């Protein structure tokens, strides 16, 4: 069997777009918690490029607190070709990225206060 490869091009507003390099009969399905939640729309590249354009609209009902993983798998081999991971809700309260964002916000607040203080002291 030929090698299957899915390359992400974009992910925005719940739509995954990619380029698939695989045998002609290969399809892509999105799987969440063991169930198929969406099937990809496949269109052949018309600009002379090899591969197939892949577009999957993810349903909003998979968005919930915690870590959600959507696997994009081949309908031919069953191999997972890509994953989309969402982090949301209370689980992020202890996440280092959330802490860094809070620290940045506090630093900006301190910088503004310091600049006000310096401008009133010198003026």
* Residue 96 resides in a domain: no
Average pLDDT, the chain: 88
Domain range for 74: 5-88
* Residue 75 resides in a domain: yes
What are the tokens at 89?
Answer: 């809700």
* Residue 102 resides in a domain: no
Query: What pLDDT was estimated at residue 24?
Result: 84
Q: Looking at the 3D structure of the chain, how many domains does it have?
A: 1
Query: What pLDDT was estimated at residue 1?
Result: 45
Has residue 110 got a pLDDT over 70? yes
What are the tokens at 116?
Answer: 């006000």
Query: What pLDDT was estimated at residue 73?
Result: 95
* Residue 123 resides in a domain: no
* Residue 78 resides in a domain: yes
* Residue 119 resides in a domain: no
- Residue 32: give its domain's CATH number: 2.60.40
Question: pLDDT tens digits for 17-35?
Answer: 999 999 888 999 999 999 9
Query: What pLDDT was estimated at residue 91?
Result: 65
* Residue 44 resides in a domain: yes
For range 77-95, the mean pLDDT: 83
Has residue 2 got a pLDDT over 80? no
Q: Residue 32, by phi and psi: left (phi above 0), alpha (psi -120 to 50) or beta?
A: beta
Closest CA to 56 of 34, 79, 36: 36
CA end-to-end span of the chain: 76
Q: Are 32 and 72 in contact (CB under 8 A)?
A: no
* Residue 20 resides in a domain: yes
Give the residue ranges of DSSP H helices in 21-95: none
């Amino acid at each position: 069997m030929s090698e299957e490869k899915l390359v992400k091009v974009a992910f925005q507003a719940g739509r995954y777009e990619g380029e698939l390099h695989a045998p002609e009969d290969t399809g892509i399905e999105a799987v969440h918690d063991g169930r198929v939640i969406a099937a990809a729309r496949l269109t052949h590249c018309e600009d002379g490029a090899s591969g197939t354009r892949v577009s999957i609209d993810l349903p909003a009902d998979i968005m919930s607190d915690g870590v959600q993983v959507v696997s994009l798998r081949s309908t031919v081999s069953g191999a997972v070709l890509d994953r989309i991971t969402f982090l949301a809700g209370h689980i992020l309260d202890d996440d280092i990225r959330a802490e860094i964002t809070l620290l940045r916000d506090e630093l900006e607040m301190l910088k503004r206060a310091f600049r006000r203080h310096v401008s009133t002291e010198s003026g």
